[in-house]
Structure 1
Amino acid sequence: MAVPDYKLSSVLCGHSMDVRCVATTTESCILSSSRDRTAKLWHPEGVKDFVNVVTYKGHKNFVSCVCWLPPCEAFPEGLVITGSNDNTILGYNLQDGKVQIHLTGHENVVCSVAPSNDSGILMSSSWDNTARVWNVNKPQMTPIVLKGHQAAVWAVIQLANGAFATASADKHINLWRRDGGKINSLTGHTDCVRGLAVASSNTFLSCANDVTVRLWTNNGECLNTFHGHTNYIYSICINPTIPQGFVTSGEDGAVRVWSAGDCIRELRLPVESVWSVTCLNNGDIVTGSSDGIVRVFTKEPDRYAEETTLSQFEDEVQKVVAASQQEIGGFKLSEIPGPEVLLEPGKSDGQTKLVRRGTNVKCYSWSVEQNTWNEIGDVMGASPPSDGKTMYQGKEYDFVFSVDIKDGAPALKLPFNRNEDPWVVAQAFIHKHDLSQGYLDEVANFIIKNAKLDSLPASSNGFADPFTGEARYVPGSG
């Protein structure tokens, strides 16, 4: 089989925060949900473009997931279904965006929604450690609760044999009867299981934070384990145009295309997290990512983006890849975990974690009282110094001198740039280290000598000492 040459086709901008989920409708439209508290419907226009025709509002917090529920008895036009960090599920009219149903019952974030094989039956899963099966034809009916996991349930699907499967942060996949009774619990993944997809009438796929994909029989036997990603895998979807084909996305900023268990193509995006991936019926790949953009990739040349767009996209990718190779504290930026690590509670008050956000690194501290991670600030040093520069405390300098002030005491660091006034830098240095004012000329002359300054920066009589506020005499000024 010839390896398909997927390239960027369309860039869909409209969300103002992370796009956490993408899905499709039967008319080849795209649905997206975002941390900006909205979901959007994108309608195809022309050969390769999409236009945002409806924005769905109503949630009070992030919209973490979205799906299309096909027409059923109660809703003959179907419903756009969303789940949110406000613990609720909303169902909208596809065309006008009006809320048709409001489902409550989950006690924490609703992180996935999906249609079942049966008309009018909706599945949802939550951080409350449960999944639920709803009959939207009779929304007043109590849903079937799939209860048995010990941590957040990230995904739920219905297998071809009618059983339900749930994926959890407790590292297990549970299989359930249609009445909610537990069949068995599947082990094998060594970290949080994030996504599920029906592969055939007899098999299904799972992906996890342990950077693997597993193929299972509907009875729970693991047939194979596939490797390719280098960080958490968040999403998995069948690609109907590739033999035994599926696609995955994750925290390594990439989408991988698979055929019969072999990774045949990697699509790198200019982002840190590709939260969600799905496929259109024509085989085009749709992604939702941490930069708030929905992207479409195609293997059909007539749907490739314009050359200027492709070139700009590749430049953006290269910048992100280069940034990921930067180091901080001896670790590559790409090796520092992303924001998903903040989903795990801290072990003690004041515990700190470094978290990668784009090309920056932030430090968080755990508060037992507030039961949350609080951002302390940026961790400096994530950007490499320019040629000829030296990094010191997160800033670039032409020189960073070691100054011995007292015998037996550690040398003090003195950063300096050629465009600075050596007396001003010297004054700041002795003030910072609580040294005698008598050191001023000695330190200033040390800078002049070691920086080999042929001339001093231009000064005017309007100069004022930043610490005393008084003007000082500048040699040569009269």
Structure 2
Amino acid sequence: AVLDSWALGAEIAAHEGAARCVCSFVDEANDFADFYIATGGNDCAARLFLVAKGDESSAEITPVQLCESFDHQGPVLAVAPAPKAAFPDVPLGFLSASQDGVIRLLDGGGQTLRMLIGHDKGVVSLTWTEEPTPRLVSGARDGTAKVWQVSDGSVVQTLEGFQNGVSVLALPNGALATAAAGAKGQPMAVPPYVGCVVRVWTPDGTGKFTPSQEIFEHSGPVRGLCLAPQQLGFASCANDSTVVTRTFDGHPLATVRHPLSAEGFESYVLSCTSAGEHLLSGDEAGNLLVWAEENLGGAADPVQAIPHPGSIWKLAATPRGDVVSAANDGKVRVFTRRANAAMPQEAQQAFYAAAESRAKAQADAIRNAAMPNAGQIANYPKWETRAPPRGSEQTKIFNKDGRLIAASWDQISGTWVEQGEVTGISDGGVVNGVTYSHVYPIEVDGEGGVVHKLQIGYNDGENPWVAAQRFVDAHMLPQYHLNQIAEYIIQRSGSMPNMLGDPSMAPQTGAAPPGAAGGGVGHPAP
């Protein structure tokens, strides 16, 4: 039986820290089509799970971990199958790519069999082309996509002209789609948003590609690509709240929008995928939205919303028509419409309860973020000890019975007059759906004089470099900003926001690349 809506089929505690990527594939050498899920996370691990075994009548989804690898020197940001046509000597394997810029071929035991080295920065996307022979295409934060001949590890072609992370997708007609967070040397915050371009590349018959279409439909960094429902085209998702479907030659078909974040900003739609007649998209606030093919476009509402307890970094379809999500809470979840594959009702309720609890905590944090705490109140002079002002001081804040009040000095009566209770003392708050002890303003200096005003969240006791890396990842900034942002967090003491892109603020561990200062980084301020 087929369910009308998607239900939780399995929940895998896959990673310590965020689960950043996921893919699913079958074992081509097994007639019974074993069903696998490969994952990667911020814990620098790549893992492989056997999810089901047997023929199509086997419905139970029971993940079993087969292997793990810690060979990468940074978070694992992309995984992909290792097809037999490309690796005939590998019985079972998959590819993993990391912030370290290396792509690894891992076998079913987690051992590295081969490495593809060529990117200068983290690899964020992988896809396979089929003509004339299977070739791997990778997209990275160095602003390039590379076409690989995996048999000897050589780079057949480097596609350039991008800025920051590049997403790649092989299309069924033999073409290649790419999307980027920015375009090299181009401003991003003014029409036609040339920094947020989707390109279609046509194969030239030799395994290389030539550009054929440039599409300017997004106003924020493009974060992901997928095939549209029924493979009638492809879709892209971006930091501007939208998912756009189009034909294979780039003609737009429909646009759907995620709701604004809890703070009223544009949603970062981080990933999309399709399964049957449904298009699914996930955002940084933890919303997994399901869109029906027949009502895409306009003001259409999603047919289902599946809230997650953390940001959804990646979505992928499985060979059996299920959908897998990789989330910020480290869990990988399988959603199914097969009635006999859904988890018991108690597990379904626990999942939704966790998401509801997170949403409530965020709402409370937004409401209470500005309220001063007891320690802050105690630092202010007590009302009963008030004295005439010094110099030109005409307004002052006092601690009155455990509340902060604002008072103004009345020259005629010679007394302080209460003006009302004070809020807004705390610097804690919520950024993109996540609660932090502190929220600091930070600005990204873009090209053409454009300044992107953003916020960075930081928790007491947290490693500043961890918080800085999270900010770099979320806004797809060049990695050379990392030290600068971490130092800003350490030094933050109520001063004016730091201006990223200022050449005088170059990081201490290596200079910025030529032309980086003042580059178009970030996106129109959400």
Tell me the TM-score normalized by structure 2.
0.63
CA apart distance, 1:238? 1.6
Aligned partner of residue 286 in structure 1, secondary structure: strand
118, 123, 128: which is aligned to 1:105? Answer: 118
2:155 match: 142
Aligned partner of residue 143 in structure 1, secondary structure: strand
Q: 1:216 to 1:311 in 2, by over 3 A?
A: closer
- State whether residues 430 and 457 of structure 2, in contact with CA within 8 Å, keep that contact through their aligned partners in structure 1: no
1:27-38 aligned within 5 A: 27-38=34-45
Matched, 1:174 2:199: yes
1:49-448 aligned within 5 A: 49-72=62-85, 74-76=87-89, 77=91, 79-93=93-107, 95-118=108-131, 119-139=133-153, 141-149=154-162, 151-170=163-182, 171-178=196-203, 179-199=208-228, 203-230=233-260, 231-240=267-276, 243=277, 245-260=278-293, 261=296, 263-271=302-310, 273-326=311-364, 327=366, 328-329=369-370, 336=432, 346-347=444-445, 353-355=455-457, 370-374=483-487, 376=489
Take 1:369 and 1:224, find their aligned partners in 2: how far apart are those partners? 37
Q: 1:78 to 1:184 in 2, by over 3 A?
A: farther
Question: Where do 5+ consecutive residues of structure 1 fail to align?
Answer: 380-478
- State whether residues 195 and 208 of structure 1, in contact with CA within 8 Å, keep that contact through their aligned partners in structure 2: yes
Greater C-alpha Rg: 1
Q: 1:194 to 1:14 in 2, by over 3 A?
A: closer
- State whether residues 338 and 356 of structure 1, in contact with CA within 8 Å, keep that contact through their aligned partners in structure 2: no
| Offset from partner CA, 1:362-407 (integer Å, 9 cap, x none) | 9879998943344737x9xxxxxxxxxxxxxxxxxxxxxxxxxxxx
Identical amino acids, percent of aligned pairs: 23
CA apart distance, 1:212? 0.6
| Offset from partner CA, 1:212-266 (integer Å, 9 cap, x none) | 11112222222221123431111111203xx2x2211111202111211252111
Q: 1:183 to 1:153 in 2, by over 3 A?
A: farther
Take 2:135 and 2:20, find their aligned partners in 1: how far apart are those partners? 23
Q: 1:267 to 1:300 in 2, by over 3 A?
A: same
Letter in 1 for 2:150: V
- State whether residues 4 and 265 of structure 1, in contact with CA within 8 Å, keep that contact through their aligned partners in structure 2: no
CA apart distance, 1:117? 2.8
- State whether residues 209 and 232 of structure 1, in contact with CA within 8 Å, keep that contact through their aligned partners in structure 2: yes
CA apart distance, 1:202? 5.4
Letter in 2 for 1:247: L
Aligned residues: 365
Q: 1:59 to 1:284 in 2, by over 3 A?
A: same
CA apart distance, 1:74? 4.2
CA apart distance, 1:268? 0.6
Question: Where do 5+ consecutive residues of structure 2 fail to align?
Answer: 27-33, 53-58, 183-195, 261-266, 371-423, 447-452, 473-479, 493-526
Letter in 2 for 1:313: F
- State whether residues 336 and 355 of structure 1, in contact with CA within 8 Å, keep that contact through their aligned partners in structure 2: no
Take 1:193 and 1:368, find their aligned partners in 2: how far apart are those partners? 20
Tell me the TM-score normalized by structure 1.
0.69
CA apart distance, 1:314? 2.5
Letter in 2 for 1:136: V
| Offset from partner CA, 1:144-201 (integer Å, 9 cap, x none) | 111122x123310122222211110121112223323322321010100111112266
Take 1:109 and 1:213, find their aligned partners in 2: how far apart are those partners? 24
Q: 1:89 to 1:323 in 2, by over 3 A?
A: same
Letter in 2 for 1:264: V
1:3-18 aligned within 5 A: 4-18=4-18
Runs of 4+ in 1 over 6 A off after TM superposition: 362-369
| Offset from partner CA, 1:114-165 (integer Å, 9 cap, x none) | 22234431110011111011111232x333111122x123310122222211
Take 1:336 and 1:161, find their aligned partners in 2: how far apart are those partners? 37
Letter in 2 for 1:280: T
- State whether residues 239 and 270 of structure 2, in contact with CA within 8 Å, keep that contact through their aligned partners in structure 1: yes
